[in-house]
Structure 1
Amino acid sequence: MGLYQRGGVWWVDLTSPDGTRIRRSSGIEDRALAQEYHDRLKVQYWEEQRLGVKPERSWKDAAVRWVKETSDKRSHDKDVARLRALDRYLGHLQLKHVTRDVIDRIADAKAKESSPSNANRFLALIRSILRRARDDWEWLETIPKVRLFREPKGRIRFLSPEEARRLLDELPTHLRDMAQFALSTGLRQRNVSYLQWEQVDVARRVAWIHPDEAKAGRAIGVPLNAPAVDVLRRRLGQDAAYVFTYEGKPVARCSTKAWKLALARAGIERTFRWHDLRHTWASWHVQNGTPLQELMELGGWASFEMVLRYAHLAADHLRGAACRIDGTLASHTENPQRVRAV
């Protein structure tokens, strides 16, 4: 009982108030410091088990539990990558020491590294973990308020039909087929990249995205128009499992050097993203009279608010309302003969 040495490091051996035997390394080589660690640990277990004091948890404890409990998230890999990047700021802290000042320093650092919008992704993750630590795990009584940067609402970037044709002409074959299919169906890049032949019925001119593959978590039925069917017929026989492949593998990344070079040759600014193909598809639909409710179903959006960003492109149905005041202004137009000379 007490302390014993192993490999130059002192180990703790004690029994907690509930009878559990605790054996762990102190990580300390100095016996006096190891004894202090032993005594503090014994007091901690006494306070927790006899007095009901909550044990202190570290940020790393919270991060590990978050990763385990959210392994089914579609953005799980991104969360893990962001947590690794946050370790330099938070990895040495107890959870109660993740204060507003600490979070503000992280916010400033991340905004300088890239952009406020990217910093918001880190801040939102910190906020989610702190909220779960308070509300679900009951590790904290209170948490600091996490303020996100205000993100300006940018204009929707979409291609004209002529720009789209120029871009398709400049893309290498595998990206051209993927881009044409995206422009024809509005599917997100990942859904196009990993589309399998078992999800396609060319005869019925329909494809489908499974719930676990859809951003909104709901299955999407995808009606196929003529350009989409043309793409599928070109791809037939190139791979047994996946519709779109390059050198025998699905195309995981589309915003490559080849994409950027094709943009330059087509005379389209390099800031145009692959995801803007989806915006282009939606914009073309609205401009050609597709109701927003139908567009929501076609695009697999979770809420109507998501498609309202395209509403300004469909002002035709409001022309009648705008014309109701035509006569009002006309009746007050001055007679040119009565205009006084200045």
Structure 2
Amino acid sequence: MSLFKRSSSPNWYYKLYPPGGGQALQGSTGTQHKAKAQEFHDRLKADLWDQAKLGHKPRYTWNDAVVRYVADREGLSSLETSKTHLRWLDQHLSGVQLVDIDRNRIDAIGHIKRMEPRVVQTRKGPKKLGRNVSAGTVNRVIGVLKAVLNAAVEWEWIDRAPKTKKTKVVSRRIRWLTPPEAGRLLTELPTHLADMAQFSLETGLRRANVTGLLWSQVDIVRRVAWIHPDQAKARKAITVPLSDTAIAVLLRQRGKKRKPEYVESVFVYHGKPVYQTVTAAWTKALKRASIRDFRWHDLRHTWASWHVQRGTPLQVLKELGGWETLEMVQRYAHLSADHLAQWVQPMMAPAIPQLAAI
């Protein structure tokens, strides 16, 4: 039987033998409707005949491209995030041929994602919030989709990738905490999360660099840590000077018990590395500390904001934070007006006597 179903999925599956013999091809048609599955099967069968008899290029599916895309990027720090988006995209593109992924289909997928409720992880499982995912999230998901298609163009699997417009993202203010607010948050967090949050506030490291930090990346004597190029978002090594507070946090981690396979991990909880930081404990701590609209990544914004407010030059901050361009650091520039003060001296003597005395 060339079309069949499996108990693990509602979709129809196909099994085809290339003309002239060879290994059977099988996979999901990506649809629950038998008529559409039959159409998919017949078109694939015709493609196989064209390839064997007429020398046409093979027609690859989304699944084929994802497998190669992931294999090509194994070891990159951003791959885990991409995998999360790829798993979501699979429900919409599994079994679909790359040549059939056009702008209309991509726009439709973006609309579906935009209408989804935002979800956070809690101890009891995923919890839906009362608002839809952000435009930025939609852009990141579609960005991964297009990255796969662009890679397929490089592999000469398709001739071109469709062009789409990004969902407009409204620039929002940089969210950062004052030192008293940060102190309240650290007091309310469980010890393991408080240490990680404090280390983030002292170093400005991204969450993945904190959760994945190894002792081989730390030199307490020299008071420095480092992030390797393949772990950094900008693909450049980052040297991380360690303050007294950061050193104290690291020293507290030394005495913690670890499972044998995790002895190199710096931050652990019950012997295992801590990968999920936005948990129910994080949400409840924010509530108790009376802090709203604050994400874990905002700890990095807070670190950068504090640096700018105390006068750290933007070029120095760029190096400390591992940003690729100075433009990415400019968003914090408005928090310091020292470089503008010389240009706002009185343009003329006050005309009102009372003002002259102020």
- Report the TM range for the smaller structure's normalisation: 0.7 to 0.9
CA distance in 1, matches of 2:202, 2:151: 41
Change (3 A) 1:26 1:267: closer
Q: Which residue of 1 aligns with 2:59?
A: 56
CA distance in 1, matches of 2:229, 2:44: 51
The SS at the match of 1:207 is strand
Change (3 A) 1:186 1:247: same
Change (3 A) 1:13 1:123: closer
Q: Which residue of 1 aligns with 2:24?
A: 24
Q: State whether structure 2 residue 301 is matched by structure 1 residue 298.
A: no
CA distance in 2, matches of 1:255, 1:118: 17
Q: Which residue of 2 aligns with 1:244?
A: 267
Q: State whether structure 2 residue 129 is matched by structure 1 residue 111.
A: no
Return the match for 2:92 from 71, 89, 93. 89
For structure 1, the residue ranges without an aligned partner over 5 or more in a row are 1-8, 16-20, 28-32, 337-342
Q: Which residue of 1 aligns with 2:128?
A: none
The SS at the match of 1:221 is strand
Tell me which amino acid in the other structure corresponds to 1:267: S
Contact 2:213 2:266 in 1 (8 A): yes
Q: State whether structure 2 residue 145 is matched by structure 1 residue 122.
A: no
Tell me which amino acid in the other structure corresponds to 2:90: D
The SS at the match of 1:216 is coil
Q: Which residue of 2 aligns with 1:254?
A: 277
Q: State whether structure 2 residue 48 is matched by structure 1 residue 46.
A: no
Q: Looking at CA atoms only, which structure, 1 or 2, has the larger radius of gyration?
A: 1
**Residues 272-328 of structure 1: CA deviation (Å, up to 9, x unaligned):** 1111111111111110010011111111112211111111111112100122xx134
**Residues 147-196 of structure 1: CA deviation (Å, up to 9, x unaligned):** 21011111111111111111111112111211111111111222222322
CA distance in 2, matches of 1:11, 1:191: 46
**Residues 7-42 of structure 1: CA deviation (Å, up to 9, x unaligned):** xx9975754xxxxx5353799xxxxx9999978744
The SS at the match of 2:226 is strand
Tell me which amino acid in the other structure corresponds to 2:93: L
- Could you state the TM-score of these two structures normalised by the residue count of structure 1? 0.80
Tell me which amino acid in the other structure corresponds to 2:142: L
Q: Which residue of 1 aligns with 2:182?
A: 164
**Residues 55-76 of structure 1: CA deviation (Å, up to 9, x unaligned):** 3333333233222222233232
Q: Which residue of 1 aligns with 2:11?
A: none
Tell me which amino acid in the other structure corresponds to 2:149: L
Q: Where does 1:124-273 land on structure 2 (aligned, <5 Å)?
A: 124-134=143-153, 136-239=154-257, 241-269=264-292, 271-273=293-295
Q: Which residue of 2 aligns with 1:339?
A: none
Change (3 A) 1:265 1:62: same
CA distance in 2, matches of 1:172, 1:211: 31
The SS at the match of 1:145 is coil
Change (3 A) 1:25 1:169: closer
CA distance in 2, matches of 1:111, 1:316: 41
Q: Which residue of 2 aligns with 1:316?
A: 338
The SS at the match of 1:327 is coil
Q: Which residue of 1 aligns with 2:4?
A: none
Tell me which amino acid in the other structure corresponds to 1:117: G
Change (3 A) 1:124 1:223: same
**Which stretch of the first structure deviates more once superposed, 229-238 or 312-321?**
229-238
Percent of aligned positions with the same letter in both sequences? 47
- Runs of 4+ aligned structure 1 residues displaced above 6 Å come to 33-40
Change (3 A) 1:22 1:287: same
How many aligned residue pairs are there? 308
CA distance in 2, matches of 1:199, 1:106: 41
